[in-house]
């Protein structure tokens, strides 16, 4: 990624996070924009979103965001209109990096436990 796309991605991530938290999160949920990747031609911004919503399905929140994508893009355009000529089209994706980290942690702990078991059996 070029410096320009990275900078635009950072600006979009900051402003999009504020927009989603202020206007589009459902009660009792917490929405975080973890990463934004912008295509080289600056026409599409892929926003990766993490949702914490105890007692509510995350799919409901993503559906709510998808239903209001045009309004979110309009609000984003209002905030960054002096920084870009054309406002990128927004695509929202689920950020599953936390699940991936938990899975890797459990695999590492399993490997560690297996090594300790083998070591204790070899010593006997």
pLDDT along the chain (124 residues), means of 10: 88 92 76 92 92 79 88 93 90 81 83 84 73
Give the helix/strand (H/E) hosting 11. helix 3-19
**pTM as predicted:** 0.74
How many independent structural domains does the chain possess?
1
Whether 124 is covered by a domain: the verdict is no
Tokens of 45: 């911004």
For residue 32, the SS3 value is strand
Strands (E), the chain: 30-38, 44-52, 89-94
Tell me the residue range of the domain where 71 lies: 3-96
Whether 87 is covered by a domain: the verdict is yes
Whether 110 is covered by a domain: the verdict is no
Whether 105 is covered by a domain: the verdict is no
Whether 112 is covered by a domain: the verdict is no
CA 42 to chain centre: 19
Q: What's the CATH number where 49 sits?
A: 3.30.300.20
Whether 84 is covered by a domain: the verdict is yes
Measure the CA–CA gap between 107 and 22, rounded to whole angstroms.
Answer: 37
């Amino acid at each position: 990624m070029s410096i320009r796309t990275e900078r635009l991605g950072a600006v979009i991530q900051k402003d999009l996070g504020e927009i989603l938290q202020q206007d589009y999160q459902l009660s009792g949920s917490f929405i975080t924009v973890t990463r934004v990747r912008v295509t080289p031609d600056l026409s599409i911004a892929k926003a990766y979103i993490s949702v914490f919503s105890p007692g509510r399905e995350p799919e409901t929140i993503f559906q709510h965001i998808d239903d209001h994508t045009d309004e979110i893009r309009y609000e984003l355009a209002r905030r960054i209109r002096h920084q870009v000529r054309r406002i990128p089209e927004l695509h929202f994706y689920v950020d599953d990096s936390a699940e991936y980290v938990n899975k890797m942690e459990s695999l590492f702990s399993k490997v560690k436990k297996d090594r300790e078991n083998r070591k204790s059996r070899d010593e006997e």
